[in-house]
Amino acid sequence: MKPVDIGGQAVIEGVMMKNKTTYAVAIRKPDKEIVIDKKEYKSFSEKVKLFKLPIFRGMLGFVESLVIGMKILTYSAEFFDLEDDNKDKQPSKMDKFLTKILGDKLDSFVIGFSVVLSILLAMGLFVLLPLGISQLLKDKLAHPKLINLVDGVVRVIIFLSYLKIISLMKDIQRVFQYHGAEHKSINCLEHEEELTVENIKKHSRLHKRCGTNFLLIVVLMSIIVLMLIDVRTFWLRFIVRILCLPLIAGLSYEIIKWLGRSESKLAKIISKPGLWLQNLTTREPDDSQIEVAIASLKEVLAIDEEDHKECIG
C-alpha cells in the first residue's frame, strides 16, 4: 500500500479533497449536476517557519482545518439553503446592514464568526460541562488526580454520546455517506487502483487518518496531559485546559501522522478505537456519492500532476 498526502472532508451533498497547496470541493446539485470549486491554499507555516516543526504544525493545522472546513460547508450549503418558496424572499434588515458595513468582506466575517462560535460551543460542551461535573464531585474523591480522571471520563462519554445522537439525524447520515465515499476513494488510491466506482466500492470506508480518529485521540490525550497538572480551583482548572489545548492538538496530530504511515502492530492497536468509532461517522455510499468523491479527488490529482510537470520542465 502506498500512503498519499491527501486528506478530505464530507460536506452537504459533496466531498472536499486537499493536498498541500490546493483543495477541491465537488457538490452534487439538486439537478444532479456535479460542480467543482477549486482553490489554492497557502498555509500560514509558509510565513512562520516555526509552524513547520513537530507539535507546532499540529497546532496550526487544527485551526486551519476549522477555517477551511467552515468555508466549504458554507459553500456547499449555498446550493441547498433556498427552498422554492423562499427564492423571492427579500434580504432582512440585518442582512442589508451587514452588507453595507462589511461589503465584500461579509463572507469572511460570517466564516470567522462561525468558527469562533463553533469553538465556543465546543468549549462549553467538552470543557466546561465535564469540568463542572468533576468539580461537583471533588469533595467525594480521595485524590486530586481522580478529579481530572473523572473530568476526562465525562468528556469521553459526552463525545461518544454526541456522535451517536447526530448519527441518528437523516441529513447527517447523508453527510456520513459522503464521508464513507471520501475514505473509500483514498483507500483505493493508496492501493494504487484505478479510480472507478466498482474499484472504490471494494474498499473499506474506514481510514486511520480520519478526523474522527484525530478527535478521539485529542479527547484521550487530554486525559493523560491534564492528569499531570494538579490545580484545585474551578477557574484555574479551566484556564489550564484552555492553555493546554494547543499542545494536546499538536501531540494528537503527530500521532495521527505516525498512524497514517506506520504498519506496525502498535499502530494498528492504537488505531482500533478510532476505526471502531468511524462505524458511527461513516456510512456505505451509493454510486452517485462515490462519483462525487472521484470528481474531487481527480481534480486534486490533476493539480499534483501539473505541479510535477512544471518541476520537470
- For residue 70, the model assigns a pLDDT of 84
- Express each pLDDT in 229-283 by its tens digit: 878 788 888 899 999 999 999 999 999 999 988 889 999 999 999 999 999 999 9
Tell me: the pLDDT tens digits for 126-139?
889 999 998 888 87
Which pLDDT score, from 0 to 100, does residue 302 have?
Answer: 82
Question: What pLDDT, on a 0 to 100 scale, did the predictor assign at position 125?
Answer: 86
pLDDT of amino acid 304:
53
- 3-class secondary structure per residue, the chain: CCCCCCEEEEECCEEEEECCCEEEEEEECCCCCEEEEEEECCCHHHCCHHHHCCCHHHHHHHHHHHHHHHHHHHHHHCCCCCCHHHCCCCCCHHHHHHHHHHHHHHHHHHHHHHHHHHHHHHHHHHHHHHHHHHHHCHHHCCCHHHHHHHHHHHHHHHHHHHHHHHCCCHHHHHHHHHHHHHHHHHHHHHCCCCCCHHHHHCCCCCCCCCHHHHHHHHHHHHHHHHHCCCCCCHHHHHHHHHHHHHHHHHHHHHHHHHHHHCCCHHHHHHHHHHHHHHHHHCCCCCHHHHHHHHHHHHHHHHHHHHHHHHHHC
The pLDDT, as a whole number, for residue 229 is: 86
Q: Which pTM value belongs to this model? A: 0.84
Per-residue pLDDT of the chain (313 residues; tens, 9 = 90+): 677 789 899 999 999 999 988 999 999 999 999 999 999 988 999 999 999 999 999 999 988 988 898 889 888 888 876 444 444 555 555 555 556 565 666 566 666 676 678 778 888 888 899 999 988 888 787 677 888 889 999 999 999 999 999 999 988 999 999 999 999 999 999 999 999 999 999 999 999 999 999 999 999 999 999 888 878 788 888 899 999 999 999 999 999 999 988 889 999 999 999 999 999 999 999 999 999 999 999 999 985 555 434 433 3
* Residue ranges per structural domain of the chain: 7-80+96-307
Per-residue model confidence (pLDDT) at position 310: 40
Q: Residue 116: its pLDDT value, please?
A: 77
Mean pLDDT value across the chain: 85
Q: Between the CA atoms of 154, 159, 164 and 167, what dihedral angle is there, to the nearest 10 degrees? A: 160
